Structure 1
């Protein structure tokens, strides 16, 4: 019997950890730097969308829930609303991302989804604003998650489409900055329109539509002429899957993102109630304190995000920044568990903001670096976004469980200690990632990712 043909050697270095693991040069993606116009309008679109998408998670839905469900049950109901609707985000992002990867349109692959999604998003948040009861509120917010992710998935995929590796750290920092500046803007909107639900929900949605449409007009979206075979319904089911054994770097990054996002949402979803019940503030006082806290958080985040993204590009190292920032974020959560005053709350916000700034800048760049296939960028980013959406669905149930542990009333100490432990686990799961970057003679950067098989 003749010997089987020998497999070609990997193009990268062989890892030292085992005979079946190799580091292979990852997909290069775009080679030309994205223009300032594209980068600027991309950031504006992210800002507008995050204002409208995260304002309800941060403040607005809590206020709407308190309007519909008076009393101490509002926190639990709000958590349930977030959990149910997050399931729609979990499904919508990878599916719509996959569909945008294979969209045949003279307007490009990403642009049609963002343009039409913005219209549906405004309509959905209008339903939320006028919701007369909890079932309608849930329906409206589910639609908002569906249409919002019809924008978000293709929007984030344009980073992989448009930005080369040597520019990703600084550009990806914009995602974290705009996300949290959006939360800050949302907090101010909430403080202005505490009792006006129409303005509270619809005004940010219209602003999102304007900024997303502006990006649509500027984006040099590449049209494809041949649609890849996705394998029908069976292939669509695999939209939700990237084999972590074949692509271990992606798998570990996914797990880390899942854990830190869960820890973060245990903080964000219950922060307003914490200020009222533990610190003893009125509703207006809690909103004002939250607004100032988010301002402090965001200032710290903006500074560290830009610095962290730039340093990770210069040092060609993402892991050390992701691990360190996640660990510091965990420390902030544990400190919050023992916070009983407004000044201490502000100190904790500064610590967590600085840590999260580094994390969102560098982790987003790391995510794009370890994508298995640039042609499936939106699909794979959609799978990654499950790690963003699923924790939102679980945060309400996990938070309710932790709040109910061994205490009369809500146990916020258990809630934030639990969140801190989860964040520590998120830091540890980055350790096995074997991604490497090398600078070429022409100044470009080549990424290497771990594969098996």
Structure 2
């Protein structure tokens, strides 16, 4: 009888994990689609309409300001959701109000008629979507047992490339700017509602007494308390180095194929066609490896090793074009980058959840770790600009490869017990 009860509980637990992983995937798709549809399609088109002469500078200012408010939003979103106690759970209220704010701001962006309006509205919507992201990611350590976090991490990772494809295609297919924003708003609303219906959070009111211990002053004083943990610090440094490498290279992909490889050696002698092909290869490789990585991550107790190896693999792939300025080398780069980044992304969030020093501040600490993804976007223009100025695009590839490999080697020094819970990161 006892074995039967345990079997039923195990089946129920697996069902809950699958259901929660599915809604985390949907939430990521809706959020990434909103980010990417705006950033890649709608905003550049609007800037070109309003200020064609200054479009490059305008977009650079918007990108920098958006990266800065993203850093703030991730940390604040984590802190707010950590402190929330309601009948709907800890994370749901933050996700709900962030979604409402994001939808309102996206519609306002569709109605904007000047660059000045975009300068106010774009960072605002990036802030609310960052609140959404912080609370969404914090659901992983809250609701997924450590032994199943590889599956959930992979599900979230798969939501990123699919969100990019859905968001950019939906925005591009819209017949007007406002129509594009409305489509993205409806998608975010739909995925959020499905999350709440399919896998609602349980009440967190019973933890009210714990909330009293987490005062605002305590949060202010301990915002970077996670860095007292060796594993937390190493994870942050490893992620930071990798994403500086990633953004420095991929952010200049158009110019890399146009000026370094040369249009005469590109398919159709077109840089735009070449970039489309490379991104398609990277996305396909990413999606191909993600399910396998999630399955493997829950069965092989060497998470830091997999993270480090995938980062080093990315470094090797980035280094290939520095040896040979050919289209074939760029194909190798795209396949290697897509596959290794897919493996990395599929297991990275699992590792992040394993090095959190405190269960009560999981959202805050995940937000801080996520800064290692956002901050490089502010720094990479300087890194890339220096590399190209000193040694050309060849040095950009070489320095990007070195940073990725260094990030991978750093991950090898992370020590976690794979069976531990969220408190095991000290």
Structure 1 307/432 Cα, relative in aligned 2: closer, same or farther at 3 Å? Answer: same
Q: Unaligned 5+ residue runs, structure 1? A: 1-30, 439-444
Q: Deviations over 1:85-122 (max 9, x none)?
A: 11111111111211111212222221111112112212
Selected match of 2:177 from 197, 200, 203: 197
Do structure 1's residue 92 and structure 2's residue 77 form an aligned pair? no
Partner of 1:250: 232
Partner of 2:292: 307
Partner of 1:184: 165
Give the Å deviation of 1:152: 0.8
Partner of 2:6: none
Could you tell me how far apart the structure 2 residues matched to 1:356 and 1:65 are? 31
Give the Å deviation of 1:60: 4.8
Could you tell me how far apart the structure 2 residues matched to 1:163 and 1:431 are? 25
Partner of 1:321: 306
Could you tell me how far apart the structure 1 residues matched to 2:37 and 2:330 are? 20
Do structure 1's residue 117 and structure 2's residue 102 form an aligned pair? no
Give the Å deviation of 1:191: 5.2
SS in structure 2 of the partner of residue 437 of structure 1: coil
Partner of 2:247: 265
Q: Deviations over 1:308-334 (max 9, x none)?
A: 222222121112211111111122323
Give the Å deviation of 1:66: 4.5
Partner of 1:13: none
Structure 1 183/160 Cα, relative in aligned 2: closer, same or farther at 3 Å? Answer: same
Do structure 1's residue 152 and structure 2's residue 133 form an aligned pair? yes
Q: Deviations over 1:49-107 (max 9, x none)?
A: 11112344455544544445546x75554333212111111111111211111212222
Structure 1 179/41 Cα, relative in aligned 2: closer, same or farther at 3 Å? Answer: same
Give the Å deviation of 1:273: 5.0
Partner of 2:9: none
Partner of 1:170: 151
What is the number of equivalent residue pairs in this alignment?
407
Give the Å deviation of 1:276: 5.6
Query: Are the counterparts in 1 of residues 357 and 422 from structure 2 also a CA contact under 8 Å?
Result: no
Q: Which moved more, 1:151-160 or 1:301-310?
A: 301-310
SS in structure 1 of the partner of residue 95 of structure 2: helix
Structure 2 length-normalised TM: 0.84
Q: Which moved more, 1:100-109 or 1:268-277?
A: 268-277
Selected match of 1:235 from 208, 211, 218: 218
Query: Are the counterparts in 1 of residues 107 and 182 from structure 2 also a CA contact under 8 Å?
Result: yes
Selected match of 1:47 from 29, 53, 61: 29
Give the Å deviation of 1:160: 1.0
Query: Are the counterparts in 2 of residues 437 and 448 from structure 1 also a CA contact under 8 Å?
Result: no
Q: CA RMSD in A?
A: 3.1
Structure 1 235/450 Cα, relative in aligned 2: closer, same or farther at 3 Å? Answer: closer
Structure 1 length-normalised TM: 0.79
SS in structure 2 of the partner of residue 436 of structure 1: coil
Structure 1 139/255 Cα, relative in aligned 2: closer, same or farther at 3 Å? Answer: same
Could you tell me how far apart the structure 2 residues matched to 1:396 and 1:196 are? 31
Partner of 1:38: 20
Partner of 1:17: none
Query: Are the counterparts in 2 of residues 58 and 268 from structure 1 also a CA contact under 8 Å?
Result: no
Higher helix share: 2
Do structure 1's residue 220 and structure 2's residue 200 form an aligned pair? yes
Query: Are the counterparts in 1 of residues 308 and 408 from structure 2 also a CA contact under 8 Å?
Result: yes
Q: Which moved more, 1:163-172 or 1:60-69?
A: 60-69
Query: Are the counterparts in 1 of residues 319 and 397 from structure 2 also a CA contact under 8 Å?
Result: yes
Selected match of 1:211 from 176, 183, 191: 191
Could you tell me how far apart the structure 1 residues matched to 2:27 and 2:67 are? 21
